Structure 1
Amino acid sequence: MKKIPLAEGVKLKSILTKKIQELISEIHLVSHAVVEKGEKPNPSGRPLNEVEKELAQVRKDSRTLDKLIYRANIDNTISFKGEELPIVEAIELASQLRAEASLYKDLGKEERERLYSTSDNIIFYQVAMYDPAEYRNRANELEKDAHRLSNLINAKNYQVEIEFDDSNYF
């Protein structure tokens, strides 16, 4: 069987998902016809059973590809900060690093914010209970880590191969 890089498999998965939606739309299109009373409908496009057959094959290929991608993401690892992580865990870690960086960016914005003033000319402030500059720095480091990890994942996705015949789609 033909082998393709895992990265190509991931791209192909999105292509198959789109193809499934297109075939479902085609089924809706070819399954009905508007005709004048007493007239016979003229087929527009392919026969319904032909489209259904293609849809079934694309769905089967999509499931097979999912299985192969999941297996490859579990069986292959990435070295990051002295730790071996399965690709699936590395993907989740990269997402978590980005989320944490986003939180820390928010914390790093302002030290103090004016809230409101009362009729007695008393002004209230919301004051940070931490050093915002420290959180800005931490956010930058977390973003760098997320980028490094994403680059490692992308590189690994081109190294790992899965057995899938993509000739029907490329």
Structure 2
Amino acid sequence: MKKTLLASLGLTLMLSTSASVALAEEANPVPVAKESTLTSVLEYNEQEPNDSFEQANYFFIGDAVIGTLGKEVQGGWEAYDVFKIKAFRSNEVQFIIEGNKYPDSWMELTLYDSNGKRIKRSKNAQYSLNADLEKGKEYYLAVDVPGLQYGGNVFYYKISTEVIR
């Protein structure tokens, strides 16, 4: 009896969800190219603390994350953010960082492998980083500001990604 009731409820939920999606698509068609690489599917804020590989926030290719550097957060100085990435496909990915730009300082992106070995770093004042990610491997993406001083500039940023190939 319970199994029949649960199966019936599950089927009803699935059908109502499918119908809602179909109606929404019909009412608001979204033109998407067949080979489209949508960026920023989901946008969310970083969760503190994320100042080390052990505390890294998960970050998914295709999403966007908003963060802050250069201010006091939870009693600590916020000078470095780390995000953990798992590659579900082998792709060349471009990481793009947008945010505050000051003449005397800039944000850098650094990609590390799962053992903490640096793979690649963005160049001075270059607000993007391209990297080949291998399927099944984990990576860390760090955001920092070289020479960031306590009480100096505050950096608000957004990291997004684009699959290049």
Greater helix share, structure number: 1
Task: Give 1 or 2: higher strand fraction.
Answer: 2
Q: Which has the larger radius of gyration?
A: 1
Higher RCO (Cα < 8 Å, 6 or more apart): 1
Q: Bin the TM-score by the shorter chain.
A: under 0.3
